Structure 1
Amino acid sequence: MSNFIVKKVAVLGAGVMGAQIAAHCVNARVPVVLFDLPAKEGNKNGIVLRAIENLKKLSPAPLGDRDQAALIGVANYEDNLEELKDCDLIIEAIAERMDWKHDLYKKVAPYIAPNAIFASNTSGLSITALSDGFEAELKARFCGVHFFNPPRYMHLVELIPTAATRPEILDQLEGFLASTLGKGVVRAIDTPNFIANRVGIFGMLATIREAAKFGLSVDVVDDLTGARLGRAKSGTFRTADVVGLDTMGHVIKTMQDNLKDDPFFPVYETPELLGKLVAAGALGQKAGAGFYKKVGKDIQRFDAAKGDYVPGGGKADDLVGRILKEKDPAKRMKALHDSTNPQAQFLWAIFRDAFHYIAVHLESIADNARDVDFALRWGFGWNQGPFESWQAAGWQQVATWVKEDIDAGRALSDTPLPGWVFDDRTGVHTAEGSWSPAKKAYIPRSSLAVYGRQPFRAPVLGEGGSDATNGGTTVFEDDSVRAWHQGDDVLVLSLKTKMRVIGPGVIAGLSRALDEAEQNYKGLVLWNADAAQGGAFSAGADLQAMLPVFMSGGIKAIGPEVAKLQNVLMRMKYANVPVVAAVAGLALGGGCELALHATKRVAALESYMGLVEVGVGLVPAGGGLKEAALRAAADAKGNDLLQFLKNGFTNAATAQVSKSALEAKKMGYLAASDTIVFNPYELLHVAKVEARALFDAGYRAPAKALVPVTGRYGMATIGAQLVNMRDGGFISAHDYKLGMMIAEIVSGGDIEPGSLVSEQWLLDLERKAFMELLGNPKTQERIMGMMQTGKPVRN
């Protein structure tokens, strides 16, 4: 086996995609140099420098840490082509013009290293045609690598070979994309727009046609085709606005120019409304107007009949809403098919059109049905791929309905469904693999070594077998937690509560898991089954669970419950085996404190950590402020402690949440030695490796020690700043009270500066402040407001 390590990447083209691909390489600690044309005036790298500066302003942020923008190398095609010789991977990402790309390739080809991989980030041009004119040796190292926008957040990358691309090149690149950059890789056939855009844009065009047929406005369509269908909440038309109507128009044109023999070719016509909006410069979100336009605080929709924007907010009919809430997919699809309601008929029509299209085109665009489903899930934000939806709804029954519509002329094409659809099958996904019409077989998952790092790979409906919720061997389980193992020497604890909130059941489960791990395992890993699907690590304390305790015993009854949380977290910190927190998604309040008390943290890039208790009028009481004081003391190393304390105080007092794991390191919620993982499917594997390595290195629990604190000096200094903010109208009186309480805790209380205190002293301060605030009417207003609306109350 030989390692393929990408030591340096070059990105050609500093446009929207090129700059963001470079940014994501920096996120992953991969050295990268960004090229573009030399500027005509001023600094010759001015185009690239402006692109890098713009990265800092974009939202959502392409960079996990905006300060790292400076790590992107700058270059131009006139002066810096020699730099390409040091690059292991070169990604071209200029405008979608075949002639422009060919001109650039001629310029850079002599500088590409003999073993470097050369790839184009085209969204739909022929990879084979792009390689025309290459020498055979370079052609063998060329392929398509299609990132989706925005590259940091979209999981999908399509990998597209030509007939000349060496297989080992694809395997090496897939390993880099999957593990280092954290992507879900789908291999596509070299056809126009590949898989996701081919099927996704057809779906959008079909939706626009069917909407016009049934007389539905854009806002109603978006309500019907968004979250209610388990798809991106932006629906259809708002998604087009986000993508850019000009970009969508370009993808449609690629289909028009290259798919003239396609049986669905009439559908590829640019919708009249889309054409008018583009001609008027209404290109979507980036232009401030598209299918929607924001006017003040209101969102207006474009009304084709009036040729102008009108108030939006249209919703699905109640009847259709009830149908879509039906949990049985077969019953839900039958209700849509049988209903006479126009909105239900519309939904059946777009399902039928999608099923018809993917069945006809599967053989030509993908190796198997699984790749189509992953492409739509990862590239368009669908919870379920189209083949999965068909299979879940009853394969043969749905196929019969689609055939009836084709025969009756109601479908968008008269092309019949392929014969394999009606073979004696219940679907395309089975335990053997997923159906490939070309190979007339079920194709198993890729066996590349990189996937050995994913204990539970992305599931596909119909595959069967164990998944992240029930895999491995259960040691104990209840409604709150599941403790289990994979037949090895590391115990895993998974939270099962909604948003993984921490209540009595989780506290008891953690205590029991610590007992079990100390007795029988090398370590304990805290990891949740939905970590790779955007689930929370823990959204904090379970406020709802406190209500019965409060109702039966009043505020005083809460104190012992807070003490239980503090005690179990301290026990976790000083356990005799290492405890590793595998953090992904939200780690807020008590969830952040849970991670802070672990021996080590392994965090997915998309980890959002923070002590946010002030939002409900409380202060952290699970040791979060105590840990801030400890970390400040460790960092100060005898210097002015207050300067190191301000960061932890500010984070908690302003409820700041990290926008990435990289930012969480800067904020102090992750230590410099903590590990950041880019593919969330690898999180469990890495966490277990870390736990086992700590144990095998002779792990001993940290020694308990007293902590130096700033005392009344710190309280007074921070307090003076809070007074100025309160008197200046920047914070409310209650915010001031909360800030002073936080200042008191992180400073160690009203004691002499430099005093040494125990962790328990700081915990007692936390608990005392928490209990006092529970009885405060202003805090009670914030708690009730959050529980009723999910939004913080400012009072």
Structure 2
Amino acid sequence: MARIKKAAVLGAGVMGASIAGHLANVGIPTILLDIVPRELTEKEEKKGLTLEDKVVRNRFAQTGKDRLFKEKPAPLYTKETAELITVGNLEDDFDKLAEVDWIIEVVIENLKIKQELFARIEKIWKPGIIVSSNTSGISINQMVDGRSEEFKKNFLGTHFFNPPRYMKLLEIIPTESTDRELLNEMKAFAEETLGKGVVFAKDTPNFIANRIGTYGLQITLDVMKEMGLGVDEVDAITGRAMGRPKSATFRTLDLVGLDTFVHVAQNVHDTVEDAEEKAAFATSPILAKMVEHKWLGDKTGQGFYKKVKTEKGKEILALDIETMEYRPRKKLKARSLDNAKRAKTLADKLQALVYADDVAGKFAWEVMKKALLYSANRLPEIADDIVAIDDAMKWGFNWDFGPFETWDAIGVEKSVARMREEGETIPKMVEDLLATGETSFYKTVDYKPQAFSIGGQFGEIDLNEKNISLHSLKEQGKLIKGNKGASLVDIGDDIACLEFHSPKQAIGSDIISLINYTVKEAPKNYRGVVIGNQANNFCVGANIMMMLMEAQDYNWPEIDMMIRQFQGAMGGLRYMDIPVVAAPFGMTLGGGTEVVLPADRVQASAETYMGLVEVGVGLIPGGGGNKEMLLRWTEGVDPKDKVSLQPLANHVFMTIAQAKVSMSGEEARKYKFLRPYDGITANKDHLIHDAKQVALGLANAGYKAPQARKIPVVGETGYSVLRLGAYGLLKSGYISEHDYKIASKLAFVLSGGSVPEGTLVDEQYILDLEREAFLSLIGEPKTQQRMQYMLAKGKPLRN
């Protein structure tokens, strides 16, 4: 949607400022406006400022913008992103709204205030400017009551979820007059530019995700009280065991804020007419008391959980809802939870839990049953199809399965039979499904997914053509070759995709083997290769458990061979006769980054966290990462220019020695993990498609493999400089003796070892130094301790 080149956000609270931040993330200059303060702060008075000074009049918007630098997780891709946000106020700068393409209202949730604001906007509004509200529940139609038909045609609800950068869901809510073409354009824009997953919701209380999610939380509270369970015990059931986030129920409420939750629930309570549903959304006495005491969750330091200091350190206490006092957390013991934990698939996990006869199983069944029935009963009131409801819950509440996918997973026939036995009324849509002889809401026909509709028939799910599914392609017989760790898949147009699917996509012998096969065979039949997958993360590095086991057996020849094979595979990727495009996303760490660095191009997800983090386990990069970073940082540098060469070596050294990780795809450019000509995709679902297009572009442009080049190094002089810097950190107490040993080994590799400053060395020379240093470090007891600790705890040990 090329016409959205500039935007304005009205309201600089947490949500408004974060929306402005995300618009800036994707390169859209944005005006952020808020009201004019009515009184001076103490600081402003001391500075001699008045209410007429611009800095005072823009204070609320500026505060919102400044908050973007402090919040965690970070709302901005990089700090520099904020330069695209211009602050102002709703009096002096209101006329500037006529200059933008999209106005987003994010002011207080008060219908009258919103109506007055839109009346003001229409006075300066120009036809074609899109206007939307980020309300979480106020009627979209009522907001523009009294506005012209032309204004209404360009008005809609755009409900972002918090935090806007990270939450995938965007609910688009049309008015009765919204132009249908505009809706399609906004959907495309949100998916392509903002990286969102879009669902069309109806103008009903709390729309889709908050309506169902709030109901689910309400009934969880009710069932908890009925069964006499504690909040910590319930969270043990309603988290990963049920395919929900680790924060489960009450940790999630603490994160959201109890006052926010009560407001959302009350909105449904006040607007629905059905007595039973109204009762379901009534504020729980427990919540009312907590809000009264200001126990609102994380923002007030206590909610359902409270963090306290003890002699042993920090401890998290749980609220006893009977006594309203905090107590040590209890661990719920239930065979069903153990069985669910061991289950391989989510469907197996859910069945092991909800059909169990212990306390966890009974609780999970009761909560799930009510949520499934409620979701089915809300069709077609809140949405036109089951896909919208499932997507809304997955993208807005981070559920692994939406309600109807969950129903399929536990078995529609089996679960409905039990519901009937328990006296439940089965929704008509579910009865219609079973009457057709079908036993699930979703099915695949000719490799195309279909969903059961309200009309009683199956219809093809409308998917974006950019959503390439590697799983579906393999089902269609597009697998070229595969093993337990990786697959090579034909993704069309003579492009092959190298997919990692080992546990956590960790690099082991299976992946190395398939990389070597790809290097040898792909150029015979394909025009390019994409390296990518559709797991939770791109690659968390090499298989350190395998490495550790070999080291503990003193099997140095085996480790040496593994490193040589990894280095050789990476060299093969770098010098293939067809273009290689890496498509990283999520955690791309250690060996994962080393896979990306040799690629001709990188098409990264906006949410890519890259870094050479081997020092965290007492090692240095062993798959060519040191060599690749030197190549990138010294490209085009005259080896005789010793003044320029040393600072570049310092940059590479600090990046690797400090295990620096980019917090976005854009920030990866700062460390040269991405180059200026590498691309970034906002929507992860489109990543394989976009990488494929880059590969095709290179092939069509007459791709030729790169030639090896010499690397200028700082030599012995530079080695002393790097080592001296590390020694200063050691003596200052910032690093340990073992950290210093690792840093010294790294410095030797990056400086080129015992050669004069400015020497040109070849790539293999650096690879040999790297391999020798890696072998030396992995034999160190303290390195092996770090590796064991990482495997056991999932975090680095400083020893």
Map of 2:299 onto structure 1: 286
Q: What displacement does 1:469 show?
A: 5.7
Question: How has the CA–CA distance of structure 1 residues 231 and 316 changed in structure 2, closer, same or farther, with 3 Å as cutoff?
Answer: farther
Map of 1:212-611 to 2, 5 A cutoff? Answer: 212-261=225-274, 263-296=276-309, 297-322=314-339, 325-326=342-343, 339-406=356-423, 419-420=431-432, 422-424=434-436, 425-431=438-444, 433-437=450-454, 439-446=455-462, 451-456=464-469, 467=472, 470=475, 473-530=478-535, 535-546=536-547, 550=551, 554-611=555-612
Aligned mates of 2:422, 2:589 — CA distance in 1: 50
Q: What displacement does 1:725 show?
A: 1.0
Aligned mates of 1:645, 1:733 — CA distance in 2: 23
Aligned mates of 1:471, 1:52 — CA distance in 2: 49
SS at match of 2:36: coil
Question: How has the CA–CA distance of structure 1 residues 712 and 324 changed in structure 2, closer, same or farther, with 3 Å as cutoff?
Answer: closer
Map of 1:72 onto structure 2: 85
Q: What displacement does 1:556 show?
A: 3.0
Please say if residues 399 and 421 of structure 1, whose CA atoms lie closer than 8 Å, have aligned partners that are also in contact.
no
Q: What displacement does 1:551 show?
A: 7.0
Question: How has the CA–CA distance of structure 1 residues 733 and 553 changed in structure 2, closer, same or farther, with 3 Å as cutoff?
Answer: closer
Please say if residues 339 and 353 of structure 2, whose CA atoms lie closer than 8 Å, have aligned partners that are also in contact.
no
Map of 2:64 onto structure 1: 51
Aligned mates of 1:70, 1:80 — CA distance in 2: 18
Deviation string, structure 1 residues 404-441 (Cα, Å, up to 9, x no partner): 3235xxxxx9999875355333132234732332x444
Please say if residues 469 and 529 of structure 1, whose CA atoms lie closer than 8 Å, have aligned partners that are also in contact.
no
Please say if residues 617 and 778 of structure 1, whose CA atoms lie closer than 8 Å, have aligned partners that are also in contact.
yes
Number of equivalent positions: 772
Counterpart residue type for residue 732 of structure 1: S
Aligned mates of 2:416, 2:573 — CA distance in 1: 55
Question: How has the CA–CA distance of structure 1 residues 443 and 30 changed in structure 2, closer, same or farther, with 3 Å as cutoff?
Answer: farther
SS at match of 2:422: helix
Q: 2:136 aligns with which of 117, 120, 123?
A: 123
Shifted more, 773-782 versus 416-425: the winner is: 416-425
Please say if residues 620 and 766 of structure 1, whose CA atoms lie closer than 8 Å, have aligned partners that are also in contact.
yes
Map of 2:103 onto structure 1: 90
Counterpart residue type for residue 421 of structure 2: E
Question: How has the CA–CA distance of structure 1 residues 556 and 537 changed in structure 2, closer, same or farther, with 3 Å as cutoff?
Answer: same
Counterpart residue type for residue 435 of structure 1: F
Please say if residues 406 and 416 of structure 1, whose CA atoms lie closer than 8 Å, have aligned partners that are also in contact.
no
Please say if residues 363 and 436 of structure 1, whose CA atoms lie closer than 8 Å, have aligned partners that are also in contact.
no
Aligned mates of 1:199, 1:452 — CA distance in 2: 29
Counterpart residue type for residue 91 of structure 2: E
Q: 2:781 aligns with which of 740, 757, 777?
A: 777
Map of 1:628 onto structure 2: 629
Shifted more, 307-316 versus 169-178: the winner is: 307-316
Q: What displacement does 1:49 show?
A: 1.1
Q: 1:735 aligns with which of 719, 725, 739?
A: 739
Question: How has the CA–CA distance of structure 1 residues 164 and 484 changed in structure 2, closer, same or farther, with 3 Å as cutoff?
Answer: same
Q: 2:121 aligns with which of 99, 108, 127?
A: 108
Please say if residues 241 and 340 of structure 2, whose CA atoms lie closer than 8 Å, have aligned partners that are also in contact.
no
Aligned mates of 1:763, 1:364 — CA distance in 2: 63
Aligned mates of 2:372, 2:333 — CA distance in 1: 23
Q: What displacement does 1:12 show?
A: 1.1
Map of 2:757 onto structure 1: 753
Aligned mates of 2:340, 2:762 — CA distance in 1: 59
TM-score, normalising length: structure 2: 0.93
Q: 2:193 aligns with which of 141, 162, 180?
A: 180
Please say if residues 241 and 349 of structure 2, whose CA atoms lie closer than 8 Å, have aligned partners that are also in contact.
no
Q: What displacement does 1:151 show?
A: 0.8
Counterpart residue type for residue 516 of structure 1: E
Question: How has the CA–CA distance of structure 1 residues 709 and 358 changed in structure 2, closer, same or farther, with 3 Å as cutoff?
Answer: same
Gaps of 5+ in 2: 39-50
Deviation string, structure 1 residues 572-629 (Cα, Å, up to 9, x no partner): 1121111000111111111101100111111001111111111111111111111222
Aligned mates of 1:199, 1:760 — CA distance in 2: 59
Aligned mates of 1:283, 1:124 — CA distance in 2: 21
Please say if residues 467 and 686 of structure 2, whose CA atoms lie closer than 8 Å, have aligned partners that are also in contact.
yes
Please say if residues 202 and 382 of structure 2, whose CA atoms lie closer than 8 Å, have aligned partners that are also in contact.
yes
Gaps of 5+ in 1: 408-412, 458-465
Aligned mates of 2:509, 2:101 — CA distance in 1: 52
Deviation string, structure 1 residues 526-574 (Cα, Å, up to 9, x no partner): 01132xxxx2211111123336655777213311221111122112112
Please say if residues 604 and 680 of structure 1, whose CA atoms lie closer than 8 Å, have aligned partners that are also in contact.
yes
Counterpart residue type for residue 216 of structure 1: L
Q: What displacement does 1:28 show?
A: 1.0
Aligned mates of 2:510, 2:352 — CA distance in 1: 40
Deviation string, structure 1 residues 98-141 (Cα, Å, up to 9, x no partner): 11211211222222331121111111111111121211001011
Shifted more, 550-559 versus 232-241: the winner is: 550-559
Question: How has the CA–CA distance of structure 1 residues 332 and 401 changed in structure 2, closer, same or farther, with 3 Å as cutoff?
Answer: farther
Question: How has the CA–CA distance of structure 1 residues 733 and 418 changed in structure 2, closer, same or farther, with 3 Å as cutoff?
Answer: closer
Q: 2:177 aligns with which of 161, 164, 168?
A: 164
Q: What displacement does 1:487 show?
A: 3.5
TM-score, normalising length: structure 1: 0.93
Map of 1:32 onto structure 2: 30
Map of 1:463 onto structure 2: none
Map of 1:205 onto structure 2: 218
Question: How has the CA–CA distance of structure 1 residues 388 and 415 changed in structure 2, closer, same or farther, with 3 Å as cutoff?
Answer: closer
Q: What displacement does 1:630 show?
A: 1.7
Please say if residues 123 and 146 of structure 1, whose CA atoms lie closer than 8 Å, have aligned partners that are also in contact.
yes
Aligned mates of 1:730, 1:328 — CA distance in 2: 44
Shifted more, 52-61 versus 643-652: the winner is: 643-652
Map of 1:687 onto structure 2: 691
Question: How has the CA–CA distance of structure 1 residues 373 and 681 changed in structure 2, closer, same or farther, with 3 Å as cutoff?
Answer: same
Please say if residues 11 and 92 of structure 1, whose CA atoms lie closer than 8 Å, have aligned partners that are also in contact.
yes
Q: What displacement does 1:443 show?
A: 4.0
Q: What displacement does 1:38 show?
A: 2.3
Deviation string, structure 1 residues 457-494 (Cα, Å, up to 9, x no partner): 9xxxxxxxx62664561111111221121342111111
Please say if residues 335 and 358 of structure 2, whose CA atoms lie closer than 8 Å, have aligned partners that are also in contact.
no
Please say if residues 628 and 649 of structure 1, whose CA atoms lie closer than 8 Å, have aligned partners that are also in contact.
no
Counterpart residue type for residue 709 of structure 1: V
Please say if residues 369 and 429 of structure 1, whose CA atoms lie closer than 8 Å, have aligned partners that are also in contact.
no
Map of 2:46 onto structure 1: none
Map of 1:665 onto structure 2: 669
Q: What displacement does 1:344 show?
A: 2.1
Question: How has the CA–CA distance of structure 1 residues 588 and 635 changed in structure 2, closer, same or farther, with 3 Å as cutoff?
Answer: farther
SS at match of 1:643: helix
Question: How has the CA–CA distance of structure 1 residues 292 and 624 changed in structure 2, closer, same or farther, with 3 Å as cutoff?
Answer: same
Aligned mates of 1:611, 1:714 — CA distance in 2: 21
Aligned mates of 2:346, 2:317 — CA distance in 1: 34
Please say if residues 356 and 417 of structure 1, whose CA atoms lie closer than 8 Å, have aligned partners that are also in contact.
no
Aligned mates of 1:132, 1:324 — CA distance in 2: 52
Map of 2:13 onto structure 1: 15
Please say if residues 4 and 172 of structure 1, whose CA atoms lie closer than 8 Å, have aligned partners that are also in contact.
no
Cα root mean square deviation, aligned: 2.2
Aligned mates of 1:354, 1:262 — CA distance in 2: 18
Question: How has the CA–CA distance of structure 1 residues 337 and 552 changed in structure 2, closer, same or farther, with 3 Å as cutoff?
Answer: closer
Please say if residues 370 and 429 of structure 1, whose CA atoms lie closer than 8 Å, have aligned partners that are also in contact.
no
Question: How has the CA–CA distance of structure 1 residues 553 and 293 changed in structure 2, closer, same or farther, with 3 Å as cutoff?
Answer: closer
